[in-house]
Amino acid sequence: MKKIIIVVMVLALVATSATATVLSVPDSYSTIQAGINAANEGDTVIVADGVYEGTGNCAINYYGKSIVVMSENGPDDCIITCGGQAQGFIFISGETNVAVLQGFTVTSGSAINGGGIHIANSSPTIMRCIFWNNNAGNGGGVYVNSGDPRFINCTICQNSATSGGAIYLVNSDMVINSCIIAQNSASG
């Protein structure tokens, strides 16, 4: 009986792994948002090196999906620049810690809440990202309301806001591990 259970568990694991897909931006999808929109639970969206801006590359929303969005070679080579028109990423649909963002620089983001990243009612995992030179009313770099996100090996620097130049937290338990937070400013 134990052998049957083990075989069934292995087959279930293989079936789950077999359904995960890797989607490529910009090779297969022209924008990061288009890649996310096409992704299914468990998929990975890999973003090639480059500078990404404009519609579909700012205010990027996971829409509750448990996916990984990662740059090909890290934050020095994959830059999201929003030209002061929107924030970089949005997590507002109940994303859990298996929704992962990894290896981007987000700069020139601007919003009422969260110039670099806006997290509400969600708990994503953010790894190896740089939030630099963003601004907002609340949370120049990062805004979190009613979420428990994890930030690992991130840099949050030179952001500005009325309140919370680097990070603005409301009813949240944010985990910050091995991050650099420096030279941010708040005017309020």
DSSP codes of every residue in 113-169: E-SSEEEES---EEES-EEES-EEEE-SSEEEES---EEES-EEES-EEEE-SSEEE
**Residue 5 domain flag:** no
**Residue 92 domain flag:** yes
**Residue 85 domain flag:** yes
Number of domains in the chain: 1
pLDDT of residue 109: 99
Amino acid at position 153, single letter: N
CB atoms within 10 A of CB 117: 31
pLDDT of residue 188: 82
CA 121 to CA 95: how far, in whole Å? 8
Cα 107 from chain centroid (whole Å): 13
Residue pair 74/106 in contact (Cβ under 8 Å)? The answer is no
pLDDT of residue 18: 58
Q: Which residues pair with 135 in a beta bridge?
A: 110, 160
**Residue 1 domain flag:** no
**Residue 15 domain flag:** no
Range of the domain at 134: 22-186
Residue pair 74/50 in contact (Cβ under 8 Å)? The answer is no
Q: pLDDT 10s digit of each residue in the chain, 188 long?
A: 545 444 444 444 444 455 899 999 999 999 999 999 999 999 999 999 999 999 999 999 999 999 999 999 999 999 999 999 999 999 999 999 999 999 999 999 999 999 999 999 999 999 999 999 999 999 999 999 999 999 999 999 999 999 999 999 999 999 999 999 999 999 98
**Residue 40 domain flag:** yes
**Residue 6 domain flag:** no
Residues in the chain: 188
CATH number, domain containing residue 150: 2.160.20.10
**Residue 129 domain flag:** yes
pTM above 0.75, yes or no: yes
pLDDT of residue 179: 99
The enclosing H or E element of 71 equals strand 68-71
